[in-house]
Structure 1
Amino acid sequence: MADIYSPVPELNLFKEFEDNCSESYAQWAGMDDFGKMSFLSDDPELVHGLLRFASANGSGSLYALWKRDDRDDLATLPVVLLGDEGGIHIVARNLREFFQLLGALEGDLGCDWEDVFEQDQEELPAQADYLAWLEEKFGLTPPDDAWDIIEAAQKELGKEWAAWIRPLIPDAVSSSPE
Structure 2
Amino acid sequence: MDFKEHIRVIPDFPQEGISFKDITTLLQNGEAYKESIDELKKLVKELKIDVIAGPEARGFVVGAPLAYALGVGFIPIRKTGKLPYKTIQAEYALEYGKDVLAMHVDAITEGQNVLIADDLLATGGTIATCVDLIRQVGGNVVGAAFMIELQDLNGREKLPDVEVFTLTQYPF
Normalization by structure 2: what TM-score? 0.31
More strand by percentage: 2
